[in-house]
Amino acid sequence: MFVLVNLKAYDCDPVAIARAAHDVSEESGTRVAVAPQTAQLGAVAETGVETWAQHVSPSAHGSHTGSALAEAAADAGASGTLLNHSERRLRLADIDNALDAGEAGLDVVVCANNRAQCKAVAALGPDAVAIEPPELIGGDESVSTADPDVVREAVDAVSEIDEGIDVFCGAGVSTGEDVAAASNLGASGVLLASGVAKADDPEGVLRDLVSPIE
């Protein structure tokens, strides 16, 4: 089970959370990664935690002011990137172009809202698809418990395209029970944000998240 923590643009200490995530990962043997703001990729990577970019642009080297190149993220220490999060939507053609991030050595997780989107993005060949109904993002209820059929349908849809593509469960994940429920529904990872980034005790939340995996 993979735990990917997206810090978004929350007012939190990314390095402190990264250190906690690294310690929890080392002690539990669970794969835990942190996705900070682009400017903080290097500082987070220096903690030794697996580091992901929140987004990379569908562009290569050239006159693309303001873009976030996959190569630059990799050079800063990222080993993976999110694409098409509900808060950073891309057109299908742009997702296809951004998947060239794999050529920079980055793993790629593409977010999707429903079965149809999961099937469409899976056909592009990412490493994983994350199912995230937008109405549950940032809420108190996890998609794995609020609407488990959404996860089952996502797993089935992606498997129809390529059984080698992982499916992650996002939106509202915040506890070890959510992680266990996601696993039971066929997900191989979870994607979460506020549950850790806005917590008074991020390390405690991380330890609870991995507890059913140990």
Q: Residue 32 sits in a domain of what CATH number?
A: 3.20.20.70
For residues 9 and 39, give the distance between their C-alpha atoms in angstroms, rounded to a whole number. 11
Q: Which residues are catalytic?
A: 85, 132
Residue-by-residue pLDDT tens, the chain, 214 positions: 999 999 999 999 999 999 999 999 999 999 999 999 999 999 999 999 999 999 999 988 899 899 999 999 999 999 999 999 999 999 999 999 999 888 899 999 999 999 999 999 999 999 999 998 766 665 566 666 667 888 889 999 999 999 999 999 987 788 898 899 889 889 999 999 999 999 999 999 999 999 988 5
Collapsed DSSP state (helix, strand, coil) of residue 82: strand
Whole-number Cα distances in Å, 196 to 38, 72, 205:
18, 26, 6
**Cβ 60 vs Cβ 69: under 8 Å:** yes
User: How many structural domains are present in the chain?
Assistant: 1
**Cβ 25 vs Cβ 50: under 8 Å:** yes
Domain range for 40: 2-58+66-210
Nearest CA-CA partner of 67 in 79, 52, 56: 56
pTM for the full predicted model? 0.93
Q: Cα 213 vs. chain centroid, distance in angstroms? A: 18
Name residues whose C-beta falls within 8 Å of residue 174's C-beta, 6 or more positions apart in sequence: 140, 142, 192, 194, 195, 196, 205, 209
Q: Angle at which helices 202-210 and 14-28 pack, to 10 degrees?
A: 30
pLDDT at res. 170: 84
